Amino acid sequence: MSLKIFIDGKFVDKEDAKVSVFDHGVLYGDGVFEGIRSYNRHVFKLDEHIDRLYESAEAIRLNIPVSKKEFISDILETLKLNDLDDAYIRAVVTRGVGDLGLDPRKCAKPTIFIIADKIALYPEELYEDGLPIIISKTRRNHPTTLDPRIKSLNYLNNILAKIDAIDAGVVEALMLTLEGYVVECTGDNIFIIKDGKMYTPPSDIGALEGVTRNVIIELARERNIETDLKVMMSKELFEADECFLTGTAAEIIPVVKIDDKVIGTGKPGKITQEIRKDFKKLTETGGTKY
Ligand code: PMP
């Protein structure tokens, strides 16, 4: 059976799921999205993702023409229809079809689509051995240009950094702010552990406020591990005991090397592994059922 895609209120086969070349999502990356995951027929942190989607839309003055409740029900329907137990869900709202100019007012109606597909996972050995990453030469967008807290369709900044990673033969790249502070990776947030305390950059310097990031801060609190939102230079990462990345797709993935600097023992750290276990348990027990 062909995958069924939700597009503008209807379900169509994957082959027929198309948007116009005049859609400003295509022409300008003018739109917002979410990447969401389901585990064993439960959508993980669905409300949090929907809230962020609507916040991103509001930040670009895009009025999503359906309620959050309706959006949630369309996502659950997409999952049910495709009979997916474990899925990666992509919810997208574009500015809609307009003319060749930038003016968003020319776009009468936002385009909404929802894709639910099988999840493509990183190979297990990357979780067991940990990732080497590099520091990208591409700096993260400054919050006064295009705020990285907005999950917009305009991902070229991240893609350029991803190309730096590919060129270096690794799968992820760390991005710095214009001032040279550690901020986030191309599709993940970053954490370090130093002397039993956890640190991650504050999102207002230019990082997405990751849903997984917030879950990790909560899980750490339950383990009495304090988290400090800290503005850090890369040197602090090199001197960390442990380092890991978080994201919906990657979950929690240990980092063992940054450029040519080995982090901690060069193996995934103990606290990282414990938090990974807590996270796994949480994904197995919670979420919105479908
Ligand atoms: N930063 C960026 C740039 C991202 O695209 C993502 C999502 N893939 C994240 C961080 C992690 O966010 P979340 O935990 O909400 O998936």
DSSP track, 26-79: HHH--EEEEEEEEETTEETTHHHHHHHHHHHHHHTT---SS-HHHHHHHHHHHH
Q: What is the mean pLDDT of residues 57-85?
A: 98
Number of residues in the chain: 290
Convert the pLDDT of each residue in 32-52 to its tens digit: 999 999 999 999 999 999 999
How far, in Å, is the centroid of ligand 1 from the Cα of 286? 20
Cα–Cα distance, 256 to 238 (Å, whole number):
10
Cα–Cα distance, 285 to 263 (Å, whole number):
32
8 A C-beta contact, residue 253 and residue 217: no
Ligand 1: does its nearest atom lie under 6 Å from the Cβ of 158?
A: yes
Question: What domains can be seen in the chain, in order of their start residue?
Answer: 4-117 (3.30.470.10), 124-285 (3.20.10.10)
Q: Can you give the pTM of this predicted structure?
A: 0.97
Strand partners, 243: 192
Please name the residue that has the structure tokens 């602090």. 236
Convert the pLDDT of each residue in 189-219 to its tens digit: 999 999 999 999 999 999 999 999 999 999 9
Atom number in ligand 1 closest to CA 211: 15
Alpha helices in the chain (DSSP H): 24-28, 46-59, 68-81, 124-129, 156-168, 211-222, 234-238, 270-285
The pLDDT score that the predictor gives to residue 219 is 98
Relative to beta strand 173-176, strand 182-185 is antiparallel
Ligand 1: does its nearest atom lie under 6 Å from the Cβ of 210?
A: yes
Convert the pLDDT of each residue in 136-181 to its tens digit: 999 999 999 999 999 999 999 999 999 999 999 999 999 999 999 9
Asked if residue 19 has pLDDT above 90, the reply is yes
- 10 has catalytic annotation: no
How far, in Å, is the centroid of ligand 1 from the Cα of 188? 5
Asked if residue 286 has pLDDT above 90, the reply is no
Ligand 1: does its nearest atom lie under 6 Å from the Cβ of 35?
A: yes
Ligand 1: does its nearest atom lie under 6 Å from the Cβ of 206?
A: no
Q: Which of 10, 68, 118, 151 is catalytic?
A: 151
